[in-house]
């Protein structure tokens, strides 16, 4: 008969072995986002990375071409029609023995909230810079979020096959604007618009030359050219590239892993995503430089180790990704332990159990059943109607709560009404779904009633998404009427009641459905000041600004 001591020793051995297995699997994960200003080429780079990892066999433009598969991450009809990303997407694929979880984010400022939520789920970011435009407004904002969250940043200077600025000038701008020391890993041979090849700063005695494929449909052929041959064939372009690299190296601009992880430096790569030039070195850098999952901060202080029992963060909820099934999927970043399909976990917000019977691994719009997942992986839980953005899931008996997701101050407001009153049920269901996903914030008041909710957005393009999805997915077309407000402040029930009854202050108070916060809406700051004078005892608090 096995003694109690032997059983205890066996359990401890299994526990230690399980922890070691989780730590080993976590070390193989790289979870990163691609961020940039609109039109810098994020979706194109996302596709190029997947192409080089052989996760897809042929690349296509966002609009698609005959007989060619389109961008896997842009799956909404509105995205395909406009050629932009309006929602984040997840692509998981293997490369060099690692599992890469790539999160493609919207670049447009109108969709800042979605991008900020994604950044709560990654360990690294690839910042894309247009060779001609340099650092742009949205790039600056997203970098600030990365810096605030302690997310290390790898920089890719894109579109070097087109006319643009000087390479050294772009590095100076990065250091001046971000206080971040750029450390080139690849360097262009030839100026922007006349790219002859790339030099790897770690092996400067050779050049990488690329043979483009028609339309960039396949990975560009990469040829290693010895330095002597490059000097003879490329002349002054090669000489200038080598001299610039030597100058930078003499100035201490060399990659240092510790400085990179501390957010003091950024490795820099050059290339052209649309023709797949310079993408392979960037993909290698994600494996070699990006950090694997580590301990996650908890809302009450302290951290959750990767080898602790299972915990996960819901960072995105999306409905109707599969039009044939009209289902709802919650994206969960595994933060610790092992996720096992079919187990019952606990939703921290309610303390209630949640069954994980339908769990998928996601690749854009495509998905497949997943049985297990490890820290860094993103799992899609299907038909997860109880889950909300920002929820923490954890193993029963091992509680954890991660910090809440930020909600930003809306600046645009519209009343929504169904075009067809007979579709009121579908209208209410669709509006509630879009609120839960965070597409817009939904506000209601006793004055207007729930049949005429007010939609609040950071940017006006969010309303285009609402109109398209309400008509296409919920068969409930909406009529939107703009309200004359541009400023939102948080108040209490007394302040809200006073504002709605006041004849001295122009404004309106509503309640945010998601968290029951009372919001006071004003046309301008002057009216907000009038409110403070009229109701000195009522709070009027600023909200987190997405465009700060």
Give the residue ranges of the annotated binding site for GTP. Answer: 104-108
d(CA 239, CA 455): 58
Name the token pair of 129. 């810079």
Using CA atoms, how far residue 6 sits from 1, 18, 119, 155, in Å, is: 10, 18, 46, 54
What residue ranges in 300-411 does DSSP mark as E strands?
Answer: 303-304, 311-319, 328-336, 339-340, 344-347, 352-355, 359-363, 366-369, 372-373, 378-382, 392-394
- Tokens standing for 331? 């994206």
Q: H-type helices in 377-517, by residue range? A: 424-437, 461-472, 493-501
**CA dihedral of residues 152, 545, 315, 453 (deg, nearest 10):** -170
Q: Please report, in range form, the residues annotated as the binding site.
A: 104-108
Phi, psi of 230 (to 5 degrees): -60, -40
Q: Are 23 and 292 in contact (CB under 8 A)?
A: no
Q: In 10 A of CB 387, how many CB atoms?
A: 21
Strands (E), 263-327: 265-270, 296-297, 303-304, 311-319
Element (H, E) at 17: helix 4-27
Q: Are strands 478-482 and 352-355 parallel, antiparallel or unpaired?
A: unpaired
Residues 95, 287: Cα–Cα separation, whole Å: 8
């Amino acid at each position: 008969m096995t003694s109690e001591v032997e059983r205890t020793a066996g359990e401890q051995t299994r526990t230690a072995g399980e922890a070691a297995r989780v730590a080993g699997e976590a070390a193989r994960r790289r979870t990163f986002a691609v961020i940039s200003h609109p039109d810098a080429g994020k979706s194109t780079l996302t596709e190029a990375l997947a192409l080089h990892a052989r996760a897809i066999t042929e690349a296509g433009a966002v609009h698609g071409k005959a007989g060619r598969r389109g961008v896997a991450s842009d799956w909404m009809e509105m995205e395909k029609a406009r050629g932009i990303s309006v929602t984040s997407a997840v692509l998981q694929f293997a490369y060099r023995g690692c599992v890469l979880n790539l999160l493609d984010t919207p670049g447009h400022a109108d969709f800042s909230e979605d991008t900020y939520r994604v950044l709560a789920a990654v360990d690294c970011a690839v910042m894309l810079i247009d060779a001609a435009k340099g650092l742009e407004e949205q790039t600056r904002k997203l970098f600030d979020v990365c810096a605030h969250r302690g997310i290390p940043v790898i920089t890719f200077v894109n579109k070097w096959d087109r006319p643009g600025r000087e390479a050294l000038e772009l590095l100076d701008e990065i250091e001046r604007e971000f206080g971040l020391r750029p450390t080139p890993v690849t360097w262009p041979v030839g100026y922007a618009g006349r790219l002859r090849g790339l030099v790897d700063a770690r092996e400067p005695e050779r050049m990488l030359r690329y043979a483009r494929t028609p339309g960039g449909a396949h990975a560009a052929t990469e040829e290693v050219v010895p330095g002597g041959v490059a000097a003879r064939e490329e002349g002054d372009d090669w000489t200038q590239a080598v001299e610039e690299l030597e100058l930078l190296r003499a100035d201490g601009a060399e990659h240092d892993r510790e400085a990179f992880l501390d957010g003091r430096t950024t490795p820099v790569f050059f290339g052209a995503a649309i023709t797949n030039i310079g993408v392979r070195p960037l993909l290698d850098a994600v494996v070699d430089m990006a950090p694997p999952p580590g301990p996650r901060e908890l809302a009450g202080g302290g951290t959750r180790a990767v080898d602790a029992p299972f915990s996960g963060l819901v960072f995105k909820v999306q409905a109707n990704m599969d039009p044939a099934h009209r289902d709802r999927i919650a994206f969960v970043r595994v933060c610790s332990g092992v996720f096992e399909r079919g187990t019952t976990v606990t939703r921290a917000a309610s303390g209630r159990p949640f069954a994980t019977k339908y769990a998928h691994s996601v690749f854009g719009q495509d998905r497949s059943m997943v049985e297990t997942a490890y820290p860094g992986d993103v799992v899609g839980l299907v038909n997860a109607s109880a889950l909300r953005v920002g929820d923490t899931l954890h193993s029963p008996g091992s509680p954890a709560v991660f910090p809440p997701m930020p909600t930003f101050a809306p600046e645009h407001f519209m009343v929504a009404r169904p075009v067809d009153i007979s579709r009121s049920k579908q209208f209410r269901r669709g509006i509630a779904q879009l609120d839960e996903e965070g597409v817009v914030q939904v506000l209601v008041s006793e004055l207007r009633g729930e049949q005429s909710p007010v939609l609040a957005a950071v940017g006006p393009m969010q309303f285009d998404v609402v109109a398209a999805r309400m008509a296409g997915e919920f068969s409930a077309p909406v009529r939107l009427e703009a309200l004359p407000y541009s400023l939102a402040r948080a108040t209490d029930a007394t302040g809200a009641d006073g504002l709605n009854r006041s004849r001295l202050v122009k404004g309106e108070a509503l309640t945010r459905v998601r968290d029951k916060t009372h919001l006071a809406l004003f046309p301008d700051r002057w009216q907000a000041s009038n409110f403070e004078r009229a109701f000195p005892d009522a709070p009027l608090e600023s909200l987190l600004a997405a465009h700060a």
